[in-house]
Chain A
Amino acid sequence: MRRHAVLWSFVALALVVLAPFGVVLVNGFKSPEQYSTDGPISLPDRVSLDGITAVWERVDYGEKLLNSLLISSSVAVLAVVLAVLNAYALGIGRIKGRTWVLVLFLAANTLPQEALAYPLYFLANETGLYDTRLSVIIVFTAIQSAFGTYLLASTFSGFPRELLDAAVVDGAGKWQTLLRVVVPVSRPTLGVLFVFFFIWTWNEFFLPMVLLISNGNQTVPVSLGVLQGQQMMDATASSASALLGVVPAIAFFLLFQRALARGITAGAIK
């Protein structure tokens, strides 16, 4: 009896946490007419795509999805590459002053973005990069690779020395050792980093909002967030836009679940 009481209380907790997702799902598919008569807590009498298509067209959601995909995947690839190069020098090369360089990278990742926002806005204007997706890619490659460097350097410093020595004996140079030994052996960690960089960049709001003014360049969270911030939306549009924001996140969650579980714990304790 008591065993089940504990289980059911956790099921109840999970349902409370999931309830907002459920409400979003139900209302995203309601017709505006039904919403205005029955409100948000009734079930839809039929699946209506009216609310979703209205918001889809209003923010040109397909374009936002492409922007987000382009920015997030570019950042994830570039940041993993840079982090590997940095960590190779710091974790395996053990260059002089490595502790201080590592602290610098960690500090760079920890800085609040507000302390970079205006200068980045200004510099982007000066260099003609303002309001380009490239500006966001450059900025987040720097921010994510700083964290990746910190994490990978500590992984690499425990890299089996015998493997490195064997590569040297075989006549491999530094590049070959990196590409043929270090990267293949660390592939699982690099995969986790890639997933995290992708999702973190996808979820970013503040700097992308500051750097991307024109609608056509904005990401999913920025375009939906700015729309909501204008407070001009009716309830149907709000629920539909919430749904459109939620769906990619859930898709990533299901796709990357194992990497996420491994990554959170690695990232937290290392």
Chain B
Amino acid sequence: MTSAAPRVRRRRGSGGTYPLFLVPGALLLLAVILVPFGMNIGTSFTSWSGVGDPTWIGLDNYGKLLGDSTFWQSFRNNAALVVAMAIVPTALGLMIAAGLHDHVGRNFGPRPAAILRACVYLPQVLPIAVAGIVWGWLLAPQGGAVNELLGALGAESLARNWLGDPDLALWSVMAVLLWVQIGYPVVVFMAGMGRVDPSLHEAAQLDGASWWGRFRHVTVPQLRPEVFVVLLTCTIASLKVFAPVYVLTRGGPGGATNVPAYYSFQNFFEKAKVGYGSAIATVLTLLIVVLTALFLRAQNKGEDG
């Protein structure tokens, strides 16, 4: 033992080789993410069709964005998707998780609760483009299962062109994304509820608190870290939504379901306005980075406190 101790120290002291393990990962990060991201920012200051040389135009693209109603509409639509993918799933997820944990889990055992949880989670494992394919067909105006079902129930008058009607399309996309998303908060919250000390619930129950009272005053406050993580990760995910919009509506009808991610894609590959698309992508990135920074700061605070 006595002879080993100095050897340990010497090895640690000469341990300058750890950074070498970082080299392959760092090179790949540089080539695939950092350099391309830098190029994207650079391109956003140019006018470029994708062929030939880009022309430097400074902040013109960003200036144009300010007056571009499609751009603003895409962000308004994205706000609706934040509601559908973050706010509603968090609220509903809390109720579903609490119901499964407190009622089903307690009265019928962990197995039925786990099976029901798995059912609600299933849409999460679908490739999101495939979820779009499934719903594109279910919501089809002619022969789509939703309209056919309404017909079979004698409610033909409720049948709609769910994705083709400018007043409805965004609501339909929101409903699809809620279906996709709901399982994630349920799983995270149920795991969190396993962490909550049962004596808190017992004490509240002795004080005569109803289930709803315990839900509000014990469960929700105890789950604050989970609620926070879910709200932020889901908000970030909703800002990145592309595939369902591409597959379901292509941003239409008339831009009713366009989102910044899809709008930048349109500028890159359909309109050949690469500089403009890059500016949109840069603004979107800025928004996401700010959210992530807030998230990290709050998470660190939570760990210290």
Which residues on A are within 8 Å of B, measured CB to CB?
Answer: 3, 6-7, 10-11, 13-14, 17-18, 20-21, 23-24, 27, 39-41, 82-83, 85-86, 88-90, 92-95, 101, 103-108, 110-123, 138-139, 141-143, 145-146, 149, 165, 168-169, 174, 178, 199, 202-206, 210, 220-222, 224-225, 228-229, 235, 238-239, 241-242, 245-246, 249-250, 252-253, 257, 260-261, 264-265, 268-269
Q: Are A265 and B21 in contact (CB under 8 A)?
A: no
Partner of B103 from the list A3, A206, A224, A238 (CB cut-off 8 Å) is A3
CB-CB contacts below 8 Å: B128-176 with A:
128-130, 132-138, 140, 143-145, 148-149, 152
B196 close to A (CB within 8 Å): no
Contacts A95-B18, A220-B130 aside, 8 further interface pairs with beta carbons under 8 A come to: A10-B104, A14-B116, A86-B21, A114-B277, A116-B33, A117-B268, A221-B128, A225-B247
The CA of A52 and the CA of B93, in the complex, are separated in Å by 35
Q: Are A108 and B29 in contact (CB under 8 A)?
A: yes
Partner of B133 from the list A85, A110, A224, A268 (CB cut-off 8 Å) is A224
Residue of A21, A106, A142, A202 contacting most chain B CB atoms (<10 Å): A142
Residues on the B chain within 8 Å of A114, using CB: 242, 260-261, 264-265, 277, 280-281, 284
Partner of A264 from the list B39, B187, B277, B296 (CB cut-off 8 Å) is B187
Q: Are B274 and A118 in contact (CB under 8 A)?
A: yes
User: Known contacts A10-B116, A228-B247, A245-B133; is A21 also within 8 Å of B122 by CB?
Assistant: yes
Q: Is the interface of A mostly helix, strand, loop or mixed?
A: helix
Query: What does the 1/0 interface line of B12-53 toward A look like (CB < 8 Å)?
Result: 100101111110111011011111110110010000001000
Query: What does the 1/0 interface line of B242-262 toward A look like (CB < 8 Å)?
Result: 110011001000000000110
Residues on the A chain within 8 Å of B31, using CB: 142
B89 close to A (CB within 8 Å): no
Partner of B40 from the list A82, A92, A115, A225 (CB cut-off 8 Å) is A115
The CA of A116 and the CA of B121, in the complex, are separated in Å by 30
User: Known contacts A17-B179, A242-B130; is A265 also within 8 Å of B144 by CB?
Assistant: no
Q: List 11 A-B contacts (CB under 8 A).
A: A10-B104, A13-B96, A94-B18, A108-B34, A113-B240, A114-B265, A119-B39, A205-B128, A221-B129, A225-B133, A239-B137
Q: Are A7 and B7 in contact (CB under 8 A)?
A: no
Closest CB in chain B relative to A117 CB, distance in Å: 6
Closest CB in chain B relative to A256 CB, distance in Å: 9
Q: Are B134 and A246 in contact (CB under 8 A)?
A: yes
B210 close to A (CB within 8 Å): no
Q: Are A268 and B230 in contact (CB under 8 A)?
A: yes
Which residues on B are within 8 Å of A, measured CB to CB?
Answer: 4, 7-8, 11-12, 15, 17-22, 24-26, 28-29, 31-37, 39-40, 43, 50, 96, 99-100, 103-104, 107-108, 112, 116, 118-123, 125-130, 132-138, 140, 143-145, 148-149, 152, 179, 182-184, 187-188, 191-192, 225-226, 229-230, 233, 236, 239-240, 242-243, 246-247, 250, 260-261, 264-265, 268-269, 274, 277-278, 280-282, 284-285, 288-289, 292, 296
**Nearest B residue (CB) for A3:** B107
User: Known contacts A112-B240, A112-B281, A169-B7; is A228 also within 8 Å of B133 by CB?
Assistant: yes
The CA of A116 and the CA of B182, in the complex, are separated in Å by 29
The CA of A108 and the CA of B32, in the complex, are separated in Å by 10
**Nearest A residue (CB) for B41:** A115
Residues on the A chain within 8 Å of B148, using CB: 39-41
Residues on the B chain within 8 Å of A222, using CB: 129
Partner of B25 from the list A39, A82, A269 (CB cut-off 8 Å) is A82
Q: Are B268 and A85 in contact (CB under 8 A)?
A: no
Partner of A17 from the list B35, B123, B289 (CB cut-off 8 Å) is B123
The CA of A120 and the CA of B43, in the complex, are separated in Å by 13
The CA of A203 and the CA of B35, in the complex, are separated in Å by 25
Closest CB in chain A relative to B147 CB, distance in Å: 9
Q: Are A111 and B104 in contact (CB under 8 A)?
A: no
Closest CB in chain A relative to B142 CB, distance in Å: 8
**Nearest A residue (CB) for B243:** A205
Residues on the B chain within 8 Å of A268, using CB: 188, 226, 229-230, 233
Closest CB in chain A relative to B68 CB, distance in Å: 16
User: Known contacts A222-B129, A224-B133; is A115 also within 8 Å of B285 by CB?
Assistant: yes
The CA of A247 and the CA of B134, in the complex, are separated in Å by 12
Q: Are B125 and A241 in contact (CB under 8 A)?
A: no
Q: Are A82 and B24 in contact (CB under 8 A)?
A: yes
The CA of A143 and the CA of B261, in the complex, are separated in Å by 18
Q: Are A110 and B292 in contact (CB under 8 A)?
A: yes
Residues on the A chain within 8 Å of B296, using CB: 103, 106
Q: Are A174 and B18 in contact (CB under 8 A)?
A: yes
Q: Are B28 and A229 in contact (CB under 8 A)?
A: no
